[in-house]
Each structure stands twice: as C-alpha cells, then as structure tokens.
C-alpha cells in the first residue's frame, strides 16, 4: 500500500516566500500519513508567471526557495514532488522529486502547450527524459499537465516500463465543459495503461484565469476513487493498493504484448519508507453548471481583489440585471463591508430603476450612494452648445452620460483606493454596445466572459440561494436608459438570437453562412458579425475579466484591429 497526498492549493504568482511556506506547512501536516506529497505545476513561482520567467533574479529566488525546501526535507520521511521553473542550461517547466535532503529526480515537461491562453514555447524548453522512482517496491512515474493529454505520450512509455502509479501535476485553467472532458480522458489513461492516475490541480484566480482544483485519483479500471473540492483549497491523502495493478496486468494479454516491446526505462531511485495507516478516500460532489460558473466567478473576483491588495470594490448600480448580478457576486466573494454601490440617475432614469437599485443594496447590506448626473450633463451640454451651436441629441449625447458615470466611479477609486468593477457582459462587449471610457471602464470586469442570456441564468441561480435581486429586474426589458423609452433591442437583435450567433462565431469558429444554415436569420447574423468586427479596437482597451468560456476575449481571442477580411 502506498499513501499519496495531493495538495490542491491556491498559490500567488511571484509570492515565492509565501508559496514556499504554504508548501512546507502541508508537508509538516502530512509527513506522518503520506509516502508521497505532490504539489501543482509551478507551485513555487505561481502559474502563469509569464515574463517574470525571463528575469534571472526571479529564477534565482525560485531556486533559493527550492533549496530551503530540500534542506527542510531532511526532517521528513516522505517524498516531496514540487513544481517550479528550473534553469539548467535552459529553462524548463519542471517537477523536482525530493527525499531526506536530496534531489532524487527532476522531471521536465515534455509537451508545451502553445494555444488558447498558453504561451509555454515562449518560456520553456521541452524535456525529453521520463522519470520513474521506486517507493517501497512500487514504481511511480511523473508527468506535468499537458503530457497526460497525449495517449501515446510519456505516461504510456513509463507505464509499459512498469510504473504502477502516474503522478500528474497541473495548472489547468477552467472553462465551461472542460472538467467532464478531462475526467473522461484521465479515466482512459488509467484504463489503457492499467495503472493508478493521480491528478493534482491548482486552484485559485490569476488575472483572467481561474483554476478549479477538482484533483482526482483514478483506479486502473477507470473509476474515480477520490476527488477534491471544486474551487477551494483541499489537501487529501489516499491509500493505493498498487498490487491491484500487478494482478490486472498479468491477466491482460494485450498489455503483456505491448510491454514486452518497451525499452526499459531506468529507475532513478529506490526508496524504502515506513508503513502508513490506511486513509479512507473521499469523493467531493460536482456542482451543476450554473453553480460551477458562479463559483468560478466568485473565486476569480475574490483572488483578483485580495491578491492585488484592494480593500474595497465600487460599482455603478443602475437597477438593471448586469449591475445587480455583479453586486451580488462581489458581496458573496468579498463580504458586504467591502462593496459600495453608486446610483447615478440622469433625466432619463426611471423611478423603478432607483427603487430596484436601492432595494438590492438594502437586501445585500452594502454601502449605497445616490449621485445624480443631470446637472453635470447639462454643464457639459451648455459648453458643447456654446462651441457647436445647435446640437441634435444622438449617440454622442447618450455616451457622455456613461462617461460621466465612469468619472464619478474613478473619482472614488482615486480618492479611496477602491477597485472599480465594470458591469459589461460578453454580448455587449462583442458588438460594441458599451461605451468606451464609460460603462466599459473598470479595473476588473467580472462578467466580461458571460453572455447576456447567461447573466439572467446566473442571477436566477443566485436568487435561488437568497432572493436579493428584485423580481422586477428580471421582468423589465434591458435598457441603458440613455434616452427616453430606450431598450437594448432598439439596436440589437433579441439576446436569445444574438448570443447564439456569438457562440457559433466566437467559440465554434463558424462562418456567417454556416451560422445561417443553422436556422438563424441572415440579417441578424450579418449585422452581429459586422458589429463584432468593427468593435475590436474597443475590446483591446477593455479591463481584464474572468475567463469561463472556451474562447474568451483577451488572450484567447487575438484578432487584428486593422482587418479588412469580411467574414
């Protein structure tokens, strides 16, 4: 029997000292129950460290922290696997295996992802060598994140060379639908290789990325025997009966034939550790989709605010669905004492909007202020009129109201150090139905990657927990209230149609003609895609926001601003 501890922790990029202390704390707490403790990918540096990895003094600090862990490990009768950027003639994404003050192996990541949000070829050199060590007579192999995505990759080679347990360490960011896909292929790796697979993932928010945790241990027959919590730190130990692997392999003729052709991989170290008591595994529940997305947003917002040392956040409350939902999200993530809402009515704001904003703030228990903008707007208008003579009210006059509101929010931000939360959603950002330097502005955009129809879904989910958003907010037509009797649908297709078009174009990469073939109205399709293309320059200036979809604006979406391609 072998006891393995998976340390699913929330590390902070660049806070090497705090990361080191967190690692040592887990080792101290689990040294007597575990034979092997595994930490996530690049745990010491935090992930992704981006261009910090190009700074030699940053790498030197990571190496110093590693040496301190190696020194401390003399006191522990357990194997420790720690991820960090490792420089050896070149820079590697590496996993260092330590025992009793010595390094018993260094595994260097083989497959470097260079798609979506990943840029690992920019920083790292590919590793070539597998790593197997033997603990108490059992062979344990190691790999890092992307390596296990390849069915004929390093895991296959090490398993055929006799490894009964594969330890895969990860910093795998979340998006909707990704977990179920990962679970299916991890089960396949365990079954195909007739071995145990332990998958330890990072948890926490880092700029626009959120890591969901949900670390796993999977048996040789593809069953989940342990799963950590979703979107929370979680450290657990599981006892593995590795003799099961031997029994299954000897009964499998395909395995015996395949393994007979595998060149033997040299075992780096042979370790004998004391016995450990049996640890009962646990399987944490999987949240349903709305809860999962809400947890991702909440964690991403909380970590962005806390890790960047903001005391409070501030947002404009309009009485609409977007700002109402963001206020609930911020209150749940940070607590009511750290959230401030400001209602900024103009001559076009309805009494109902004020009532809904005030009721929401009272329900949440957050600080609430009313700062009318009509006099400020009139002062602007008089100055413009003096220079331009007669002015016909149009979109410029609508947008100046949004910019006045942004100025008020940023005044509070500058005066008191609050973080301004933008409340623009993905649908609006996609088609430019948001004012640059106005409601689009902010220090952080929690729902930047949430389509409008999903804002309603998530707000309904949040209200099922505690009905803080007034029902009228769900019922009234969405409106920016920048002119009399305005609704979003004066300018945009209905959101149910708009969002379908956007998902097919952005995430599924379909052409306009392919989208139309799915039954969507041609006029709406061409209008939507034209608006999306024309507003690329705005999106390039948008604040950072939390990625939850397969293809988010930002690192996922790298379209040129100057672009004459028509489709």
Helices 253-260 + 243-250 axis angle, to 10: 100
Distance between start and end Cα atoms, the chain = 59
Residues 427 and 251: their CA atoms lie apart, in Å, by: 55
Helices 522-534 + 495-502 axis angle, to 10: 70
Nearest-5° Cα angle at 71, 25 to 10:
30
Residues 132 and 265: their CA atoms lie apart, in Å, by: 8
Whole-number CA gyration radius for the chain = 27
Any residues with CB less than 8 A from the CB of 261 and at least 6 apart, and which? 160
Structure tokens at 22: 């967190």
3-state secondary structure labels for all residues of 402-466:
HHHHHHHHHHHHHHHCCEEECCCCHHHHHHCCCCCCCCCCCCEECCCCCCHHHHHHHHHHHHHHC
Q: Sign (positive/negative) of CA torsion 12, 16, 20, 21?
A: negative
Query: Taking the C-alpha atoms of 103, 105, 111 and 115 in order, what is their torsion angle to the nearest 10 degrees?
Result: -20
Residues 504 and 432: their CA atoms lie apart, in Å, by: 18
Strand order in the sheet with 419-420: 367-370, 339-343, 313-316, 419-420
Any residues with CB less than 8 A from the CB of 440 and at least 6 apart, and which? 422, 424, 429, 434, 538, 541, 542, 543
Catalytic residue ranges: 41, 109, 145
- What single DSSP character describes residue 33? T
Closest CA to 538 of 398, 451, 430, 449: 430
- In this structure, how many other beta carbons lie within 10 angstroms of the beta carbon of residue 562? 6
Residues 453 and 394: their CA atoms lie apart, in Å, by: 28
3-state secondary structure labels for all residues of 492-525:
CCCHHHHHHHHHHHHHCCCCHHHHHCCCCCHHHH
- In this structure, how many other beta carbons lie within 10 angstroms of the beta carbon of residue 121? 11
């Amino acid at each position: 029997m072998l006891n393995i501890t998976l340390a699913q922790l929330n590390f902070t990029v660049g806070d090497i000292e705090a990361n080191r202390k967190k690692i040592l704390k887990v080792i101290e707490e689990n040294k007597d129950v575990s034979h092997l403790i595994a930490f996530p990918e690049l745990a010491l540096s935090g992930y992704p460290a981006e261009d910090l990895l190009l700074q030699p003094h940053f790498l030197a600090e990571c190496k110093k922290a590693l040496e301190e862990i190696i020194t401390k490990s003399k006191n522990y009768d357990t194997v420790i696997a720690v991820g960090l950027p490792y420089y050896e003639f070149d820079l590697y994404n590496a996993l260092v295996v330590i025992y009793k003050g010595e390094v018993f192996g260094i595994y260097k990541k083989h497959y470097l992802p260079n798609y979506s949000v990943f840029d690992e070829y920019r920083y790292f050199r590919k590793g070539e060598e597998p790593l197997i060590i033997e603990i108490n007579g059992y062979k344990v192999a190691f790999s890092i994140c992307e390596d296990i995505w390849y069915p004929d990759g390093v895991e296959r080679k090490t398993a055929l060379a006799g490894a009964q347990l594969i330890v895969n360490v990860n910093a795998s960011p979340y998006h909707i639908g990704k977990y179920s896909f990962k679970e299916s292929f991890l089960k396949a790796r365990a079954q195909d290789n007739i071995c145990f697979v332990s998958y330890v993932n990072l948890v926490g928010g880092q700029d626009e990325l959120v890591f969901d945790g949900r670390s796993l241990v999977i048996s040789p027959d593809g069953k989940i025997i342990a799963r950590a919590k979703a979107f929370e730190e979680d450290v657990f130990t599981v006892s593995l009966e590795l003799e099961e692997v031997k029994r299954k392999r000897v009964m499998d003729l395909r395995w015996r034939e395949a393994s007979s052709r595998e060149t033997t991989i040299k075992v780096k170290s042979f370790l004998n550790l004391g016995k450990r008591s049996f640890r009962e595994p646990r399987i944490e529940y999987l949240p349903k989709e709305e809860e999962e997305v809400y947890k991702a947003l909440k964690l991403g917002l909380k970590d962005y605010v806390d890790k960047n040392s903001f005391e409070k956040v501030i947002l404009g409350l309009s009485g609409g669905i977007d700002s109402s939902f963001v206020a609930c999200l911020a209150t749940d993530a940070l607590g009511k004492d750290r959230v401030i809402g400001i209602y900024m009515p103009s001559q076009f704001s309805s009494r109902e909007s004020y009532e809904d904003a005030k009721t929401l703030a009272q329900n949440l228990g957050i600080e609430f202020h009313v700062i009318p903008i009509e006099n400020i707007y009139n002062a602007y208008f008089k100055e413009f009129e003096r220079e331009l003579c007669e002015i016909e009210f149009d979109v410029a006059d609508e947008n100046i109201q949004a910019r006045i509101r942004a100025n008020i929010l940023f005044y509070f931000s500058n005066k008191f150090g609050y973080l301004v939360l933008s409340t623009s959603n993905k649908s609006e950002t996609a088609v430019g139905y948001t004012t640059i330097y106005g409601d689009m502005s902010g220090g952080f955009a929690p729902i930047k990657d949430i389509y409008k129809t999903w804002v309603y879904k998530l707000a309904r989910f949040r209200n099922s927990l505690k009905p803080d958003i007034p029902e009228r907010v769900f019922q009234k037509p969405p409106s920016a209230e920048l002119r009399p009797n305005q609704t979003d649908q004066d300018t945009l297709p209905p959101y149910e149609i708009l969002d379908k078009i956007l998902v097919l174009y952005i995430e599924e990469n379909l052409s306009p003609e392919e989208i139309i073939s799915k039954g969507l109205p041609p006029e709406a399709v061409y209008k939507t895609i034209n608006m999306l293309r024309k507003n690329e320059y705005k999106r390039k200036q948008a604040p950072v926001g939390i990625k939850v979809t397969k293809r988010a604006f930002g690192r996922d979406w790298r379209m040129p601003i100057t672009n004459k391609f028509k489709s």
